[in-house]
């Protein structure tokens, strides 16, 4: 599949980039994609939830009423979960939600996501550019002239601080390096805008 290369003004440069078939032309594996997205979302969870159980509640253990003759059930410590302020039964504890996934499965998921986007026609290529200083207005101007709307991800060949800072405050636009791509970010974007040299790095 060949895609035309645009300049930052949205005009054709007359060059075309051949998308590698082994990256953008495989049959997507939906289950691998599901596992990779599940792993990513699970890793975002802090897992710091905690409630006090019976043994952790700071209350007296003195028997607060007599055993018989009250008309109610027998009761001892006020730490019991039956009383207000008592401990929680089987409450949440701090834990990690990390899911292990083989490297080959994660790689297959990324390739599946890229192939899916290519089949949808959601990939555009722009020639390499940078900014002298961070400028969000310039960054938005590049996207608008290239016809990129909605959620979009600019994929860079290497980290570029000025480009990254220009996009940092935009809620529906982000940047990512080729080596840091993940399946969730790829699928969560309506359009993938590749810098020209990023495609060759994917190979």
pLDDT tens digits along 159-180: 989 999 999 999 889 899 999 9
- Provide the mean pLDDT of the chain: 92
Q: What is the pLDDT of residue 127?
A: 92
pLDDT class of 109 with cuts at 50, 70, 90? very high
Residues 22 and 86 in one domain: no
Distance CA 35, CA 12 (A): 38
pLDDT for res 60 = 87
Same domain? 104 vs 181: yes
Same domain, 134 and 148: yes
pLDDT, tens only, 59-103: 988 898 899 999 989 988 899 999 999 999 999 999 999 999 999
- My answer on whether 118 and 154 are in the same domain is yes
203 pLDDT more than 80: no
Averaged over 36-62, what is the pLDDT? 94
Residues 35 and 114 in one domain: yes
Shared domain check, 124 and 56? no
Give the pTM.
Answer: 0.82
Looking at the fold, whether 85 and 147 belong to one and the same domain comes out as no
* Residues 76, 163 within the same domain: no
197 and 178 within one domain? yes
Which domain covers residue 63, as residue numbers? Answer: 47-96
| Long-range Cβ contacts of 14-20 (<8 Å, 24+ apart) | 15/196, 17/125, 17/196, 17/199, 19/118, 19/123, 19/199, 20/199, 20/202, 20/203
């Amino acid at each position: 599949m060949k895609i035309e290369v645009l300049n930052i003004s949205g005009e054709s440069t007359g060059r075309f980039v051949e998308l590698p078939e082994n990256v953008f032309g495989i049959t997507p594996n939906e289950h691998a994609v599901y596992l990779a997205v599940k792993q990513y979302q699970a890793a975002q969870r802090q897992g710091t939830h905690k409630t006090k159980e019976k043994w952790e509640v700071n209350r007296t253990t003195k028997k607060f009423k007599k055993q018989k003759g009250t008309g109610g059930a027998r009761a001892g410590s006020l730490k019991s979960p039956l009383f207000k302020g008592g401990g929680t039964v089987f409450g949440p504890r701090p834990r990690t939600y990390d899911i292990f996934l083989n490297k080959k499965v994660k790689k297959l998921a990324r390739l599946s996501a890229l192939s899916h986007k290519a089949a949808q026609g959601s990939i555009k290529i722009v020639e390499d550019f940078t900014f002298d200083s961070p400028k969000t207005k310039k960054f938005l101007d590049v996207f608008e002239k290239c016809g990129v709307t909605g959620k979009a991800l600019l994929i860079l060949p290497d980290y570029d601080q000025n480009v990254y800072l220009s996009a940092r405050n935009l809620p529906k636009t982000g940047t990512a390096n080729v080596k840091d791509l993940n399946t969730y970010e790829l699928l969560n974007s309506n359009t993938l805008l590749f810098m020209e040299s990023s495609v060759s790095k994917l190979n």
